[in-house]
Amino acid sequence: MKIVVCMKQVPAGTKVDIDPETGAMKRMSGDTRTNPYDLFALETALALREKTGGTVTVLTMGPPQAETMMKDAYAMGADDAVILSDRKFAGADVLATSYALSQAIHVLGGADLIICGRQTTDGDTAQVGPAIAEHMHIPHAAWVAEILDADDKSIRVRQDLVSVSQVSEIPYPCLITVDKDICVPRLPSYLLKKKTAGRQVRIMSFADMPDQDLSRYGLVGSPTSVERMFAPPEIEKQVYLEGDAEQKTEQLFEILTKKKII
Amino acid sequence: MEFLKFNAEKCILCGLCVEKCPFNALHIEGDGIVVGDTCRMCGLCVRHCPEKAIRFEQRASTVDKSKWNDFLIYVEQERGEIHPVAFELIGEARKMASKVNFKVNCVMVGGAGTAENARKLLEYGVDHVYVYEHEGFEGFRADCYADAVADCIAATRPSSVLIGATALGRSLAPRLSTRFHTGLTADCTTLDIKPNTDMVQIRPAFGGNIMAQIAITRSRPQFATVRYRVMDRAQRVKSPAGEVVLCPVNDAMSVSRIKILSSTVIERQKSLEEEDILVVAGRGVRTEKDVEMCRELADALGGQLAFTRPMVESGYGDTAHQIGLSGRTVRPKLIITCGVSGAIQFTSCMTGSECIVAINNDPEAQIFKVAHYCIVDDLYQVVPKLTALVQNRKED
């Protein structure tokens, strides 16, 4: 079984620079970390490989510095790592990002199972996974809460929709996005880290894409554009309660009681 | 139509797509395949082509906006009931539609009872409700639901498609926007429309304290997902004039590659969204015992305790009780935040609350920008005191 896990390096903190001209995010600055949701995706893949055999390839799109994240993935047990990196991919939205990733998966010779995290902590859209599935014309199940079974033909998953828990069987090739709490991600192993120290992280660029139509990638291939960024509006009527802690609390209690809120 | 693209180099003219097309939309002409007007974007040809020579295509730069009109709202059903986010989407769409003289239409996909639910939408002033009812649509599967909604989009050519940002909606929307090669803006908190029918889509963005205004200027339809309880619910109209349109569903459209084995109702208590009073523990609450202190306040007030993302990540609570972009959006009557810093991912999901109280010892905390009542003080003094006051009142 061939599993591809899509991952992303995200800003570690909440401070992000925005390019004032294009309104696009500049990812080069600041500390980064692996999107925490993607660790659940990678762990799910590694656990499945232990059960069914096969390989786990991690794939990301981003600047070459994503190599740190990929090395960590090796130390967790990934077999192969590919970074999709090219200035032509920069500024991509959901459509262009998912297209480039789907093209890269074709270059990798396809996959039986593609696993994505539920969402990233920077974009927070939760849309790239299902969009990859649509580009590849394969079925998907989003926000999978549990893997019940898997063999060489299909996977059985449980999804918790708002008030219904649904168990379904999906034949390969397919894509799933996994929810937080589906498993406990293992820590990078020191032994594996030493063993894989010399293993290369492959870089793929626009030149490697089967579809050489530039208008499908990056900022140009993105139908959404950021028109402006602005600070959220502050509300007008605010009351700062004065006095010591006790007095403030008493005032609050009086206000809430008087307004029949409590 | 411009939707399907045939790669002439790959096509071996086997005719399988012509044979499989349920709408008789494909014909072999000369040495190529021609797509007729009856194409409904079901995607069967793409799926069946042995040479992978067919794909969906719509060039982003060439759309004629005047050919894409009206709003289309995807109405989700949950255990046979209309998900209430639909009424909020209708309310928002009607406001925008009146500015550009658009209609507000809905689309529903589901098993038995869907058409009956569709009629309930008419009294909220929608023009058409397109219904795809078939036993094959019992239970949500993203692939066949996307086929049905794509059929509706291809037939009605809406300018904008609004979808609730529920687990189901966030699974469906990206498949559709990708199929039509157009833009999707997730989790919009404000929507408006320009005279040229471009939507003004505003959503909290990227970590920082920033709102992003996003536009889809070159392609149609424009897709947006909107969270439950962010927009105002539509009002009923006095004389509903809309109609329910039953759309033909062929067996092929309702066939999914995903097989549902079982579906069980999750027994649960009142969800966070339904709660009138919430107390939120943020990072200023440092230990398990302190979390209990906040829970006591919530209990005394007859509400629930909720958490911020860092608290959930530290294991103090579960995601069902998390407020924020990766958790829930709430609009309670009263929300008391204890030791919450107020990052935009949190505040954007609770500023609709009627009364916001913030307790934090850091006067610079972002939470004070959105709070109605600000207490810059030690929560370890304020919270127990407030709990005691509330409890004593009850004893009086």
Whether residue A40 is contained in a domain is answered as: yes
Interface ipTM: 0.88
Test mutation, A6, A103, A114, A224, chain B, max B CBs within 10 A: A224
Residue A36 belongs to some domain of the structure: yes
Which residues on A lie below 8 Å from B167 (Cβ)?
142-143, 159-162
**Domain identity same for B89 and B23:** no
Q: What digits encode the pLDDT tens for the residues B163-184?
A: 999 999 999 999 999 999 999 9
Q: Is A213 exposed, middle or buried (0-12, 13-18, 19+ CB in 10 A)?
A: exposed
Q: Is B87 within a domain?
A: yes
Give me the pLDDT at residue B269, please: 66
Residue B265 belongs to a domain: no
Nearest Cα to Cα of residue B225 among A59, A126, A64, A225: A126
Here the CATH number for the domain that contains residue A192 is 3.40.50.620
Rounded to whole angstroms, what are the CA distances from B234 to A126, B126, B237?
27, 10, 9
Whether residues B178 and B106 fall in one domain: yes
Residue in A174, A235, A240 closest to B370 by CB: A235
Residue B29 tokens, joined:
């002409």
Q: Which of B197, B223, B254 is the last residue of a domain?
A: B254
| A260 interfacial to chain B (CB closer than 8 Å) | no
Cβ pair B198, B215 in contact under 8 A? yes
Query: Looking at the complex, does the CB of residue A185 fall below 8 Å from at least one CB of chain B?
Result: no
The answer to whether B116 and B82 are in contact (CB under 8 A) is no
CATH code at position B32: 3.30.70.20
Which among B216, B301, B325 is the nearest to A223, CB-wise?
B216
Domain range for A118:
2-216
Cross-chain residue pair B378–A245, CB shorter than 8 Å: yes
As to burial, measured by CB atoms within 10 angstroms (0-12 exposed, 13-18 middle, 19+ buried), residue A237 is: exposed
Q: Answer yes or no: are the C-beta atoms of B94 and B87 closer than 8 Å.
A: no
Give the tens place of pLDDT for each residue, B319-376: 889 999 888 999 998 999 999 999 988 998 998 888 999 999 999 999 999 999 999 9
Residue A242 belongs to a domain: no
Do B202 and B123 sit in the same domain of this protein? Answer: yes
- Same domain as B77, residue B38: no
The owner of tokens 């991690």 is A58
Task: For residue B371, give its domain range.
Answer: 272-395
In this structure, the number of other CB atoms found within 10 A of the CB of residue A197 comes to 10
Fill in the DSSP letter of residue B354.
S
Which residues in chain B are contacts of A137 at CB distance < 8 A? 43, 46-47
Question: Which of B228, B373, B387 is the best substitution to test chain A (most A C-beta atoms within 10 A)?
Answer: B373
**Residue B267: inside a domain, yes or no?**
no
Give a yes or no: residue A88 inside a domain: yes
Q: B195 and B279, same structural domain?
A: no
**Amino acid A51: pLDDT:** 93
**Does residue A254 lie in a domain region?**
no
Counted domains in chain B: 3
Q: Quick check: is A176 in a domain?
A: yes
CB contact under 8 A, B351 and A235: yes
pLDDT tens for the 262 residues of chain A, in order? 999 999 999 877 655 565 656 555 555 456 789 999 999 999 999 999 999 999 999 999 998 989 999 999 999 999 999 999 998 898 899 999 999 999 999 999 999 999 999 998 877 789 999 999 999 999 999 999 999 999 999 999 999 877 789 999 999 999 999 998 799 999 999 999 999 999 999 999 999 999 999 889 988 899 998 888 776 665 557 889 999 999 999 999 999 988 777 7
- Residues near B263 by beta carbon (within 8 Å), at least 6 away in sequence: A164, A165, A166, A167, B139
Alpha-carbon separation of residue A1 from A42, A52, A86, B99 (angstroms): 15, 7, 29, 54
Residues B326 and B236 occupy one common structural domain: no
Q: Are residues B70 and B209 in the same domain?
A: yes
- CA torsion B261-B267-B272-B277 (nearest 10°) is 170
The structural domain count of chain A equals 1
CA distance between the termini of chain B: 74
pLDDT, tens digit, 9 for 90 and up, residues B247-277: 999 888 889 999 999 999 877 667 888 888 9
Question: Is residue B60 one of the residues assigned to a domain?
Answer: no
Rounded to 10 degrees, the C-alpha dihedral B328/B332/B338/B340 comes to 40
- Is B262 within 8 Å of A167 when comparing Cβ atoms? yes
Residue to substitute from B4, B144, B206, interface A, most A β-carbons within 10 A: B206
Torsion of CA B181, B186, B191, B197, to 10 degrees: 0
Helix (H) or strand (E) holding B383: helix B379-395
The tokens for B266 are 């999750």
What was the pLDDT predicted at A19? 62
Q: Are residues B195 and B327 in the same domain?
A: no
Nearest-CA distance from B379 to chain A in Å?
A: 9
* Residues 6+ positions from B118 with CB-CB distance below 8 Å: B75, B106, B108, B129, B131, B244
Residues B242, B152 within the same domain: yes
A60, containing H or E segment: strand A55-61
* Shortest distance, CA B237 to any CA of chain A (angstroms): 29
B262 belongs to a structural domain: no
* Cα B384 versus chain centre, distance: 39
CA–CA separation, A132 vs A160, rounded Å?
22
B197 φ, ψ (degrees, to nearest 5):
70, 5
Q: Which residues contact A260 (CB under 8 A, 6 or more apart)?
A: none
Q: How confident is the model at residue B1 (pLDDT cuts 50, 70, 90)?
A: very low
Residues of A whose CB is below 8 A from B348: 232
Report whether B72 contacts B161 (CB < 8 A). yes
List residues bridging with A113 in a β-sheet. Answer: A3, A174
Q: CA–CA separation, B163 vs B72, rounded Å?
A: 9
Q: How far apart are CA A189 and CA B280, in angstroms?
A: 37
A199 touches chain B (CB under 8 A): no
The strand pairing partners of B266, in sequence order, are: none
Last residue of a domain, one of B192, B219, B254: B254
Give the integer Cα–Cα distance in Å for B60 and B392. 64
Q: Is residue A230 part of a domain?
A: no
Stated as kind and residue range, the H or E segment containing B172 is helix B167-179
Q: A23–B174: do the CB atoms touch at under 8 Å?
A: no
Contact B330, B273 (CB under 8 A): yes
If asked whether residues B11 and B157 sit together in one domain, one would say no
A252 touches chain B (CB under 8 A): yes
If asked whether residues B278 and B171 sit together in one domain, one would say no
pLDDT digits (tens, 9 = 90+) for B214-246: 999 989 999 999 988 788 889 999 999 999 999
**Cβ contact B390–A170 (<8 Å):** no
B47 within some domain: yes
Q: Does A68 touch chain B (CB under 8 A)?
A: no
A216 vs A100: CA distance, rounded Å:
8
Å from B392 to nearest chain A CA? 12
Residues B238 and B297 in one domain: no
Burial of A31 (0-12, 13-18, 19+ CB in 10 A): exposed
